[in-house]
Amino acid sequence: MGLTISEKILRDHSQNPHVVAGDYILAKIDKCLANDITAPIAIEVFKEVVKGTNKGVFDLDRIILTPDHFTPNKDVASANQCKIMKDFAWKNAISNYFEQGRVGIEHCLIPEQGLVRPGELFIGADSHTCTYGALGAFSTGVGSTDLGVAMALGKAWFKIPESIKFIYSGELKKWVSGKDLILYTIGEIGVDGATYKAMEFTGEIIDNFSMANRFTMCNMAIEAGGKNGIINPDAVTEQYLREKNINQYKIYKSDDDAEYFETISVECGEIEPQVAFPHLPENSRPISEVNDMKIHVDQVVIGSCTNGRLEDLKIAAKIIENNKINPNIRCIVIPGTQEIYLQAIKKGYVRTFIESGAIVSTPTCGPCLGGHMGILAKGEKALSTTNRNFKGRMGHVESEVYLSSPATAAATALKGYITSPEYL
């Protein structure tokens, strides 16, 4: 019986060549990541683990620290958390600490910087670490204790997950993106539909998807409870790596006779752009239905680790170009990294956004988790390209968040109610 890509990567990182789905392993990790919310606790854990020994961090080049959540420091308490992280990074000579001004939203930044490669075992103290499965890595979110221990041992424990294979086929309607497919998928299987499972995305539609769309889909695997999202590397992956001059990596692929917990075929020809209603990502509905409801919103957010890449900004800019943001709307655009920001300036997208009346923010997770840079008042509604619409997620506990693609968000910013470009 063959193996899935997820089983193969985990097996090769454990000391046991026979482990299969369901087995527990203590595996060697290639990289680990923490941010300003999760690093302070991880650092305490690390200190506790190495106390009384002469050991330091397991590898100076394999720990990545990104102050991206409540940055630029939103208040004194956040500033203290960032300082803890910075002091630790300097004291331990961590090479991949990204100071504010060079940092970006971690899951946009790390692939951009070539810090994750196919075949790697990557853990991050951030649930959306599952994003990097788009490159054929096994990448998953963990907590701060896992991270602190990993910084000392270079290891983490795992239960090898069974996989669910998703096969996407057909011809996509205009304006349907990776975001729409993942919202549709979560709508079908539910927010716990893939709990403890690897979500392996396959099929002709995935084959033809850009890396940006692939990152978006893998990013939201956690919103279905998945342990990781993963895509078998192909020519698109290799092209992406070539552009970054990365040529050292190991390609794993699922065997044709690999065993899956379940195989789900999704015929995509009839799928419309999707909008997830409050307060769960599984509450997705087709835009034709939503458009008729004329749901007026107060804020539109275009950005985040889900949709803050250049391709996302381009789609939004092309729709917004030569138009004005609706007078009732605050539209906040957040480029994922400084490099994306610069490219968006060069290509004229930033000018388009500002001339239309939108806000363009420095890269930050900010509003996505109700941190800062776009908090909702009591009773306000937002349409956002982020990944979570839990109760109170973007601000007041009685505010509401709807989720969509950048195209739907841009059209909504112009109209004032939730719609997509086909209705403009």
Query: What is the enclosing helix (H) or strand (E) of 81?
Result: helix 76-91
User: Which residues in this chain contact another protein in the complex, by CB under 8 A?
Assistant: 24, 26, 37-38, 40-41, 44-45, 48-50, 53, 55, 69-70, 74-75, 77-78, 80-81, 124-127, 129, 141-146, 148-149, 152-153, 155, 157, 191-192, 195-196, 222, 225, 227, 280, 369-371, 388, 390-393, 397
Q: What's the angle, vertex CA 333, arms to CA 418 and CA 97, rounded to 5?
A: 135
- What's the closest the beta carbon of residue 182 comes to another protein, in angstroms? 16
Identity of the residue, 40 or 118, whose beta carbon is nearer to another protein in the bound complex: 40
C-alpha to C-alpha distance for 220 and 222, rounded to whole angstroms: 5
End-to-end CA distance of the chain: 52
- What's the closest the beta carbon of residue 344 comes to another protein, in angstroms? 27
Chain centroid offset of residue 240 CA = 17
- What's the closest the beta carbon of residue 228 comes to another protein, in angstroms? 10
- What's the closest the beta carbon of residue 281 comes to another protein, in angstroms? 10
Identity of the residue, 368 or 407, whose beta carbon is nearer to another protein in the bound complex: 368
C-alpha to C-alpha distance for 264 and 280, rounded to whole angstroms: 22
Identity of the residue, 8 or 69, whose beta carbon is nearer to another protein in the bound complex: 69
* Beta carbons of 288 and 418 less than 8 angstroms apart: no
Question: How many Cβ atoms are within 10 Å of 83's Cβ, its own excluded?
Answer: 14
Identity of the residue, 157 or 423, whose beta carbon is nearer to another protein in the bound complex: 157
Q: DSSP strand E in 239-324: where?
A: 262-267, 274-276, 284-286, 299-302
Identity of the residue, 90 or 157, whose beta carbon is nearer to another protein in the bound complex: 157
The amino acid present at 27, given as its one-letter code, is A
238: CB partners within 8 A, 6+ apart: none
Identity of the residue, 32 or 317, whose beta carbon is nearer to another protein in the bound complex: 32
Q: Write phi, then psi, for 142 (nearest 5 degrees).
A: -135, 180
- What's the closest the beta carbon of residue 259 comes to another protein, in angstroms? 20
Q: What is the DSSP letter of 75?
A: S
Identity of the residue, 218 or 287, whose beta carbon is nearer to another protein in the bound complex: 218
* Beta carbons of 367 and 388 less than 8 angstroms apart: no
- What's the closest the beta carbon of residue 180 comes to another protein, in angstroms? 22
Q: What is the DSSP letter of 256?
A: T
The strand pairing partners of 284, in sequence order, are 276
- What's the closest the beta carbon of residue 334 comes to another protein, in angstroms? 16
- What's the closest the beta carbon of residue 53 comes to another protein, in angstroms? 6
Question: Among 401, 296, 384, which residue's Cα sits nearest to residue 332?
Answer: 384
Identity of the residue, 82 or 331, whose beta carbon is nearer to another protein in the bound complex: 82
